[in-house]
Structure 1
Amino acid sequence: MQDSAMEQGHGSLAQHGTALLALMLVLVRAPGVPAYGFRNCLQAPDDPGHFRCIQRFLSNMAGAVGDLPANTTVLEVAHNTIACLLPGAFTHLPALRSLHLPFNQLCDLAPGAFVGLQALQSLNLSHNQLQTLPAGAFTGLPNLTELVLNTNPLRMLPVDAFGPLPNLRRLLLCSCHLCDFGTIAQSLQGLTALQELSLCGNRLRALGPSPGLPPSLAVLRLCNNSLVAVDGGGRALLAGVRDLDLSYNNLSDADSFARVSLAHLSILRLAGNQLDPFQLLAVSNVPNRSLDFSGLPLGAKGVHGVCRCLGPAPLTQLLLQHLELHMLHNGSLAACPPMRALDLSGNRLRALGCVGEFLSAPQRAVLENLTAEHNLLAGLGSCLQAMRLPMLRELNLSYNRVLSVGRGAFAFAPNLRALRLNINTVAFLHRQALGTLPGLTELRLDNNLLTDLYIESFAGLPRLETLNLRNNRVAVLFPGVFKHLGHLRTLDLGGNILRRLTPAAFHGLGSLARLYLDGNHIAHISADIFQPVQTTLEVLDLKGNRLQYITAQLTHEPPFLYLNRLTDLKLQAQQPYGLKLIPHHFFRGLTALQALYLAQNKLLSVPPDAFDDLAQLRYLTLADSSNGMWDLPPGVFKNLSRLRVLDLENAGVHTLSLEVLGNLTQLEELRLAKNELRTFNGSVARALRTLHYLDLRKCPLSCACADAWLWPWLNSSHAQVVYLYNLTCARRGPPTYLHGFSATVCFLDVGLYLFAATAPALLLFMALPVLYLRAYWRLRYHCFLLRSWVNERWQRADEGHYRYDAFVSYNSADEAWVLQDLVPQLEGAGLCLCLHHRDFRLGRSIVDNIVDGIYSSRKTVCVLSRRYLRSEWCSLEIQLASYRLFDELRDVLVLVLLEDVPERELSAYHRMRKVMLRKTYIHWPPEPAAQSLFWAQLCCAVRGSHADGKDEELCCFDDPGTEGPGPSS
């Protein structure tokens, strides 16, 4: 029993020691993997100096920037409810270069709010409630170059509002309530470096009186105001401006332009005004080629009048936007100078013909770019016999109503490089519509109504590199439809209704690098489908299709077996219920894959060998798979040692062990938001030595000691725990925050303390039997001795006075011999004896009477017999008497052996045997002749030195006929 208890004790110690060691390992800060967090901001994973504090319900700036590091360079605090900025709000961010505070409720900028931001270059205060700019609001911003104050209810600007900004180059004051241009100009007097001023969307009615604008100002935007004239500010007011935007005002008097100097203008925009541009050019010094005629009423002169104003010299660009043009006849633009780019967007053109028909020969020879967006073009007919535009490189006809494209529709542009027909209603594309464009490299036909693609459709495009057919109605890819596109690099077929793919569909695409098939109805893929592009394909997008597997075993070879150059594979959001199962070795062959997207698939399980072949993988997302994936199998990421980003947000994960994430030694970003994690293993954190971004938002963390590894990571600079101070504990009652949970108890091994408390108790219980066997009577003796000493001390003031000569200890079975022989002999010799039945006090405990009797007597006479040895009370009496012997160092014990007791019987009573081995005893002789000597010896032993003043050993001699087992002590 004792051995078993000791083994249990050692086992408990081992367990507690192991637990303590494990806890210490968790709490020790892993080298290179400390963690930190910010209360209301996110640090950009790719830029440690860029912080975003967006939609955090912040009402004061301290809550956003209070815990940001001093090396912050870009700060965005948008979509909050901050109402004011106090002085010195950013003093601890001296390295800040860009500060964005839009979409708040700022109504007050305290003087000195930006003190300490010596390095700030860009400040955005748009979409707030600022009604004024107090003096000193921008103090401390000597290097600010851009200030954005758009969409604030500013009614006026103080004269010295921008005084502390000597290096300001760009000032945006759009959509405010400013109505006095003179006060605005006065506030700008000290901005000698100002280059751009935007005042669009205000309430300006006039430009004067005004003290003038800074000479450095080159761009002035005054669109969407209520200006009725441009004079009033002096002739030199706009003398230095190069780009002037006066569109969408109430300008109608061209004569007002005669009173200002506009000779240096590079471009003047007047769209949306009822102003005669020809009269304007006649009365002002605006250069003809600087005037943008877009959006102006041309009157009877029309486009022909515009062309005449521009002169014969070649143009870089001719803008004829929003002129309500309905048709361009042959030679409509013949009077215009040759131009390299022509923009006809925003008109009401229903047909363009063959383009060259309304251009002159010089124009056709140099035109490179033609744009006709946002018109009403309904169809493109054949232009096989049209005049050629040999230099035309780009043709943009998007945002029209083109329904059909005829044969040779673009024959007029044989050297076209880019053709954009996207966002039309093209339902018919003639098989030879594009056959005359051998140099075409980019073709956009997305967002149309195409249903069929034919081999001849792309037969004449040998140099095509980008083909966009997204969001059409293509249901079938006929064999060899792309076989002539040997140089095609990008093919976008997303958003169609493809159901089945065959190997012949991609035959001939020997250079294809990017293939987009997302948003189709593809239900099956196989390796032979992609075999024609196996040596070149780098990006494959199969998102939002209908891929599904009902078993974990593939019936055919893996579908991506031959794509050994593929770097990006997108399989997220398979319809209608997700991919659910990933078969074994599904990704075999993707030896170069770097990004894998499996999000939104409601995966039920992932086999341990799913990613074994993806040794080069850098990015993996399994996000939004919470419909039962539960935990990832051990070893599922064992070969992904190069993985940088792992996204498991809302993936239904309950635990993450070292067996799952232990091999991700280069992981930098780990997203675990919206999972069922109650703890994040500290051993996992130690294994992820390169981690610098960890997202645990909306996880029901238990706030137990298992999460204690988070605390040593605080206030360091390597791994960011997203919104660490907003992580809550999954407990009942009021919300408890993880950062507020006391980790003190985690540093204490409660089990060790319990062990320390219980081990002595267990040892005591184990020792009690030993103490009972070895020292029971000794302990009991001392207890009663103390008790007797306390109760009877006054009776024994004189230690040398005894009431009795001897206390007689005997068994009741020997009482006849004691009373008939012993007592008469000893009392007849003048000795006073203490006997149980005669001298014990009534009402006292037996033990008290025994102790009192022994200590009140000079000697104790023990009458030994077999019955005496068996008696517990007799054993107590002789034991107490022997203790007195050692206590007083005098021989106070007299042993009388009434009958012979063999050694074998005596050995069972070890206490008595020990006493008899140390003490000489007197044997009762059965012969009457020897009894007289016995009585003499006994009387002498009882009297001792008290009788005659001699040592008791001289009077007490052994019976010559008796062998004593030991010397007298």
Structure 2
Amino acid sequence: MTAEDKKPIVRNFPVGVTTLLVTISQFSAESVFSVDCSGKRLTRLPEDLSPQTKVLNVSHNNISDLQFSAISFLSELEILILSHNGIQQLDLSVFRFNQDLEYLDLSHNQLWKISCHPVVSLKHLDLSYNDFGAPPICKEFGSLRQLTLSATKLGQLDLLPIADVHLSSLLVYVEGYYAKRNETESLQILNTKKLHFIFHPDSLFSIRMNISVNTLEVLELTNIKLNDENCHVLMNFLSELTRGPHLLNLTLNHLETTWKCLVILFQFLWPKPVEYLNIYSLIIIKTIKEEYFKYSKTTLKALTIEHFRYREFLFSQNALYFVFSEMNIMMLTITDTTFIHMLCPQKPSTFKFLNFTQNVFTDSIFENCSTLSRLETLILQKNGLKDLFKIGLMTQHMLSLEVLDVSHNTLELNRHEGNCAWAESIVVLDLSSNMLTDSVFRCLPPKVTVLDLHNNRIKSIPKDVTSLEALEELNVAFNSFTDLPGCGTLGSLSVLLIAHNAISQPSEKFFSTCQRMRSMKAGNNPFQCSCELRDFIKNISHVPSDVVEDWPEAYNCAYPESYKDTALKDFHVSELACNTTLLIGTVGIIMLVLTATVTFMCICLDLPWYLRMVCQWTQTRYRARNIPLEELQRNVQFHAFISYSEHDSAWVKNELLPNLEREGIRICLHERNFVAGKSIVENIINCTEQSYKSIFVLSPNFVQSEWCHYELYFAHHKLFHEGADNLILILLESIPQNTIPSKYHKLKALMAKRTYLEWPKEKSKHGLFWANIRAAFNTKLALQIPDETQGH
């Protein structure tokens, strides 16, 4: 079996089967395994079917024979459709192993012979449109609920084998004339609840047969053509069928007759026990003239006529409308016609239900009509109604009217003066699919509890409306609302349908004002996901799931583009981003803490000094990156740069400088080599970059000098000698660690990690000190440095 064959159940039955009282859902749920092989030009049943197959459709193929071996292994088969094939003979014993088979459709074949055999579970059998001379009846059909037959001849004894069978429905296709014109046959169908005859669509009704059915409840006749001459034939046919007390429902499909014959039919049925008369697709031929009709006592409760057409255009309108308007029944339905009016009954009417859907009635319908005081339901859908004010006036004498449906018209409210007049009894009002605007809320029945206004042009409910205290259910879907209406003036509102509007930022106060809300449907609106929506989402998330319909599937962001199609339940934004007061307070606190921190660092940690150092160092590093190392080395002019405190200048000039220069070491001093016009920091950087070494004379005086620390900082970060041993530390006087300021952490680190030369107090040790100094310069003395640099 291919993947194409393994489809979900699709109830695609032949046309004739649609008239059967078969509820397919009783056989199985959506999980039933089914196979659809219809229209595949098969000549026999597929061989690769699964034994678990429950539904098999092999209609519209070329199967001419059904073999036992092809069907017996389908032990779980429930539905078999074999219509529109070429089967001529069938032995029902081929189904003896199909113990679950309930529905068998053999219509539209070429069957002329059936061999009987009990099929245990069979409930529905369709043998219509075959080549039987007389209807094939087996006593084994005793378990059937529905039997569908077709016959060119139906005799008195043909149905005798199933006379005692309690059928729920018997459908008989009568294909042609089978009784002599002046003879009447008798046919007993004792125990069926529903009997349906389908006659040939192109022949005049000419059936002469007395049919006796004891338990008949529903009678349906299809394809009836009558004229004034053969009208009595139908009455004779119905005489016996309508005699018993059980027939409650009579349906005539595709009835073509004259107006006179139709009135005769009504007069015939009026005293009968039939309670419901349905006529679907009625065509009146010839002209319509006034006919006498006696409205005697009747058990008829409801007359329904759908799709009423007449071929004559010029006729007496009153003759047509009068027959219907004066009927003494409770329910009248005339839909899908070209009626342009309906007369007001001349005397108090018994009508409780009137349905005139899809006609061409105008606003003058039932104008000043005071005889419909018992009317409870009035349906005027799909007509030519335009003025809502006139519709209200129409109802004011209908003292019992509770339900009014005027949907699918072109109603507008153009009057602003005075109040609309309505029947005070109206509680259900359908004004959907019209052209109404906000003003409609000022023209409504005072006691309306269910109001349908969907698919109009409404933008909001006016705040000054105070006449809707009784309203419980409101449908304003498919309008132009921009916000959810509060329940301030709608104190009883419990059901609200407001989907498909223009709501972008619904008010978060809706749920607080609508305490009685038990059902709300507000999905499919263009929600703008912003801070204003947070509270609404929070509130709607706390409402029970059975109150908010379609949540969260139908509630998505439409704006902004970054959140488009995001579910509202997944939209999150922080409280800080939405609360201006909180944001200002938070920023203020941060600024206050930052100011306090900066102040502390400036006072206690000398932050400005570090900032200046970082700035200068950044400039130096940038310059070093953009100047090649070779060029930087060519600019070296000194062997050493000496950094010292002015308080130690005497020792530097009298001891250190003479001893170094005697050895040919070029020395850079700030007082003789700093360039005038440049900043001190810039001169310090230049001197350290132009010197191989940097000598630092450390003492308590050095620690107190800020400029000395600058020199130490830049010398330590000498970029083109990074990693080289370019620092010489001379400890002139002992410096206790606790006296070094915290900002001189670099000095502390150097003294902890690097070896420094300590100036000895004893003169005998001075020679070793100078030897160590010379050793530090030993590898560099041979370098050629221009003499002109020494003169600065």
Q: Give your verdict on TM over 0.5.
A: yes
Q: What's the offset of the Cα at 1:243?
A: 2.7
Amino acid at match of 1:617: M
CA spacing shift, 1:459–1:147, aligned 2, 3 Å: farther
Give the Cα separation in 2 of the matches to 1:259 and 1:504: 71
Q: What's the offset of the Cα at 1:613?
A: 4.0
Secondary structure at 1:675 match in 2: strand
Secondary structure at 2:539 match in 1: coil
Q: Which residue of 2 aligns with 1:637?
A: none
Secondary structure at 1:426 match in 2: coil
Do residues 228 (structure 1) and 131 (structure 2) align?
yes
Report the aligned-residue RMSD.
6.0
Q: Which residue of 2 aligns with 1:836?
A: 660
User: Deviation per CA, 1:365-406, whole angstroms, max 9, x where unpaired?
Assistant: 523222333122489877786151421111122211379455
Give the Cα separation in 2 of the matches to 1:356 and 1:100: 50
Give the Cα separation in 1 of the matches to 2:340 and 2:555: 46
Give the Cα separation in 1 of the matches to 2:160 and 2:252: 31
Mapping of residues 400-415 of structure 1, within 5 Å: 400-401=308-309, 404=317, 406=319, 408-410=322-324, 413-414=327-328
CA spacing shift, 1:542–1:387, aligned 2, 3 Å: closer
User: Deviation per CA, 1:515-550, whole angstroms, max 9, x where unpaired?
Assistant: 1122333345255522xx333x1221223334457x
Give the Cα separation in 2 of the matches to 1:393 and 1:377: 24
Give the Cα separation in 2 of the matches to 1:880 and 1:939: 16
Amino acid at match of 1:420: T
Q: Which residue of 2 aligns with 1:474?
A: 385
Q: Which residue of 1 aligns with 2:643?
A: none
Give the Cα separation in 1 of the matches to 2:37 and 2:527: 39
Give the Cα separation in 2 of the matches to 1:127 and 1:658: 52
Q: What's the offset of the Cα at 1:646?
A: 3.7
* 2:296 aligned to which of 388, 407, 415: 388
Q: What's the offset of the Cα at 1:297?
A: 8.7
Do residues 373 (structure 1) and 266 (structure 2) align?
no
Q: What's the offset of the Cα at 1:257?
A: 9.2
Q: Which residue of 2 aligns with 1:522?
A: 436
Do residues 538 (structure 1) and 538 (structure 2) align?
no
Mapping of residues 768-917 of structure 1, within 5 Å: 813-814=653-654, 835-837=659-661, 879=730
* 2:173 aligned to which of 260, 268, 271: 271
CA spacing shift, 1:383–1:348, aligned 2, 3 Å: closer
Mapping of residues 276-675 of structure 1, within 5 Å: 276=178, 292-296=196-200, 302=206, 305-306=208-209, 309-310=210-211, 316-327=217-228, 333=235, 336-337=239-240, 338-339=242-243, 340=247, 341-351=249-259, 355=263, 364-377=271-284, 386-401=294-309, 404=317, 406=319, 408-410=322-324, 413-414=327-328, 416-432=329-345, 435=347, 437-438=349-350, 440-453=351-364, 458-476=369-387, 477=390, 480-500=393-413, 507=421, 509-523=423-437, 525=439, 528-530=442-444, 533-535=445-447, 537-547=448-458, 558-559=464-465, 561-574=466-479, 578=480, 588-602=488-502, 613-620=513-520, 645-650=521-526, 657-664=533-540, 665-666=542-543, 668=545, 669-670=551-552, 671-673=554-556, 675=558
Do residues 123 (structure 1) and 68 (structure 2) align?
no
Q: What's the offset of the Cα at 1:197?
A: 2.2
Amino acid at match of 2:476: L
CA spacing shift, 1:814–1:383, aligned 2, 3 Å: same
Secondary structure at 1:395 match in 2: strand
8 Å contact from structure 2 (residues 188, 212) kept in 1: no
CA spacing shift, 1:700–1:398, aligned 2, 3 Å: closer
Amino acid at match of 1:295: F
User: Deviation per CA, 1:167-200, whole angstroms, max 9, x where unpaired?
Assistant: x6x515266x644376794553223343332344
CA spacing shift, 1:839–1:236, aligned 2, 3 Å: same
Secondary structure at 2:434 match in 1: coil
Q: Structure 2 length as normaliser, TM-score? A: 0.59
Secondary structure at 1:271 match in 2: strand
Gaps (5+ residues) in structure 2?
A: 13-27, 546-550, 574-604, 615-648, 668-689, 716-726, 738-746, 752-757, 769-792
Give the Cα separation in 2 of the matches to 1:705 and 1:454: 53
CA spacing shift, 1:236–1:564, aligned 2, 3 Å: same
Q: What's the offset of the Cα at 1:659?
A: 2.3
Q: Which residue of 1 aligns with 2:565?
A: 699
Q: What's the offset of the Cα at 1:566?
A: 1.9
CA spacing shift, 1:814–1:491, aligned 2, 3 Å: same
Give the Cα separation in 2 of the matches to 1:344 and 1:253: 22
> Percent same amino acid among aligned pairs?
15
Q: What's the offset of the Cα at 1:473?
A: 1.6
Q: Structure 1 length as normaliser, TM-score? A: 0.49
Give the Cα separation in 1 of the matches to 2:195 and 2:299: 26
Secondary structure at 2:337 match in 1: coil
Give the Cα separation in 2 of the matches to 1:232 and 1:455: 53
CA spacing shift, 1:517–1:370, aligned 2, 3 Å: same
Give the Cα separation in 2 of the matches to 1:871 and 1:468: 103
CA spacing shift, 1:233–1:425, aligned 2, 3 Å: closer
Q: Which residue of 1 aligns with 2:149?
A: 246
Q: Which has the higher contact order (CA 8 A, sep 6+)?
A: 1
CA spacing shift, 1:673–1:124, aligned 2, 3 Å: farther
8 Å contact from structure 1 (residues 383, 412) kept in 2: no
8 Å contact from structure 2 (residues 331, 353) kept in 1: yes
CA spacing shift, 1:467–1:814, aligned 2, 3 Å: same
CA spacing shift, 1:252–1:314, aligned 2, 3 Å: closer
CA spacing shift, 1:350–1:765, aligned 2, 3 Å: farther
8 Å contact from structure 2 (residues 404, 429) kept in 1: yes
Q: Which residue of 1 aligns with 2:755?
A: none
8 Å contact from structure 2 (residues 155, 185) kept in 1: no
CA spacing shift, 1:288–1:658, aligned 2, 3 Å: closer
Gaps (5+ residues) in structure 1?
A: 1-59, 61-80, 86-98, 105-118, 621-644, 681-697, 708-763, 774-808, 820-834, 855-861, 887-909, 923-937, 945-969
| Structure whose residues are more often strand by fraction | 2
User: Deviation per CA, 1:247-292, whole angstroms, max 9, x where unpaired?
Assistant: 5xxx546689969945456454333623626899969987698974
Q: Which residue of 2 aligns with 1:204?
A: 109
Q: What's the offset of the Cα at 1:206?
A: 1.3
8 Å contact from structure 1 (residues 207, 232) kept in 2: no
Secondary structure at 1:400 match in 2: strand
CA spacing shift, 1:517–1:228, aligned 2, 3 Å: same
8 Å contact from structure 1 (residues 231, 260) kept in 2: no
CA spacing shift, 1:513–1:240, aligned 2, 3 Å: same
Give the Cα separation in 1 of the matches to 2:427 and 2:349: 22
